[in-house]
Amino acid sequence: MVRNIRIAPGRRRTTLLALGTAAALMLAACGGDGDEPTTGATDGGDGGGDGEVLVGLITKTETNPFFVKMKEGAQAKADELGVELQSFAGDFDGDNEAQVQAIESLISAGADGILITPSDSAAIVSSTDQARAAGITVIALDTQLDPPDAADATFATDNFRAGELIGQWAAATLGDASADAEIAMLDLNPNQVSVDVQRDQGFMQGFGIDVGDETRIGDEDDPRIVGHDSTDGAEEGGRTAMENLLSANPDINVVYTINEPAAAGAWEALRAAGKTEDDVILVSVDGGCPGVENVEAGIIDATSMQFPLEMAALGVEAIATGEIPEPEEGQDFYNTGVTLITDAPVEGVESEDSTWGLDNCWG
């Protein structure tokens, strides 16, 4: 099933060329550590001709491999379909103001559609409302808006299921010892965006923990959760958060991480504290090639793989064709799939090994 949306190719205003040297420069995309920042908006494809569909891609950052790969997927589909792509990114995960500026630039440019991974699912809604009022189709990628119907559609991993899979795997791996687990939760940031909440709560439900309010992080009262800390989805953040939690409880033996960069940082802190792979179960979500390599190396014990190229390609195609695929019954987003990757499979939790993961990973 698909739902048709109205697309009017070439609705961009004639101010687009001016935008390239003025408003687009308002948003600086985040470069790697020590790198000079790149311009926030970049033209893609053959680009520029009147009558061509213009799509804006707004990601949380441009350093996280997940968003790098998402941009690649969007660009490849844009090139295939003859669509112009302008890409924007914030300076850090949680940079809502940069995303607001990006939407304003795309409204001024007369974009046909906006694809966005919101840094703050609720705070950005006033801006996406303005875009939709201007006739622009808004599709959320990876992270839902709050409320979800503030976008015309969402293409995403089932993030609750991604967390649930690693929680189920961790509990089954520990067996009876799961009743005495000491669990550290390395989340994204204090904003409690939907992707952060869903993965956190999914993990706990999969592990057998009463989550309380499923829409909030940190309201559980299970003593096995020794603490939450924020990582900003980055390696350095994961290292700092893990150090903080270890200083409060050195006996942590299960670590949940929001993503694989945070997991890599957590592992560095665990190793510095004298922990080995046998002492701690470390689980994550992403399925990037560096993360799957860490599964193969025994550093990350299990990760839920998602598929960012498909999300982005579907988004570009939906705007270019005017056809949005319908979600499955009971879901308010189009599920792009999730697969558990581990080299230590357990009965009752379907998974693939790291060899399969390396053949299907991204980044």
- Give 16 or 165, the one with higher predicted confidence: 165
Q: What is the percentage of the chain residues whose pLDDT exceeds 70?
A: 86
Model confidence over 233-287: pLDDT tens digits? Answer: 999 999 999 999 999 999 999 999 999 999 999 999 999 999 999 999 999 999 9
Binned at pLDDT 50, 70 and 90, residue 158 comes out as very high
Q: What's the CA gap between 185 and 131, in Å, rounded?
A: 36
- Which residues, in sequence order, are CB contacts of 225 under 8 Å at separation 6+? 183, 185, 204, 209
> What is the model's pLDDT at position 43?
44
- pLDDT of amino acid 63: 87
Nearest to 128 by CA among 143, 120, 140, 138: 138
Instruction: Give whole-number Cα distances, 166 to 23, 159, 204, 245, 259, in Å.
Output: 43, 11, 9, 20, 12
What is the CB-side half-sphere exposure of residue 113 using CA atoms within 13 A?
A: 33
Would you say 36 and 166 are in contact if contact means Cβ atoms under 8 Å apart?
A: no
For the cut 60, the answer to whether the pLDDT of residue 78 exceeds it is yes
pLDDT digits (tens, 9 = 90+) for 178-202: 999 999 999 999 999 889 999 999 9
**Residue 29: pLDDT over 50:** no
* 20-34, 149-163, 184-198: segment of lowest average pLDDT: 20-34
Place of tokens 């109205």: 6
Residue 363's pLDDT is what? Answer: 76
Does the pLDDT value for residue 227 go beyond 50? Answer: yes
Q: Which has the minimum average pLDDT: 45-59, 85-99, 107-121, 284-298?
A: 45-59
Q: For a pLDDT cut of 90, what percent of the chain falls above it?
A: 82
Per-residue confidence band for 64, with pLDDT thresholds at 50, 70 and 90? confident
What's the pLDDT at 31?
33
Whether 10 has a pLDDT exceeding 60, the answer reads no
Alpha helices in the chain (DSSP H): 16-21, 65-81, 96-109, 125-133, 159-174, 194-207, 235-248, 260-272, 289-296, 308-321, 354-360
Say how far apart CA 38 and CA 30 lie, in whole Å: 7
Nearest to 74 by CA among 119, 115, 117: 115
Q: Give how far Cα 89 sits from Cα of 56, 60, 103, 343, Å.
A: 11, 6, 11, 35
What would the mean pLDDT of 286-313 be, rounded to a whole number?
A: 96
Give pLDDT, residue 1.
57
Instruction: Find residue 274's DSSP bridge partners.
Output: none
What is the reported pLDDT for 3? 61
What domains can be seen in the chain, in order of their start residue?
Answer: 2-155+308-330 (3.40.50.2300), 159-305+338-360 (3.40.50.2300)
Strand, helix or coil at 27? coil
Judge whether 121 and 189 are in contact, CB under 8 Å: no
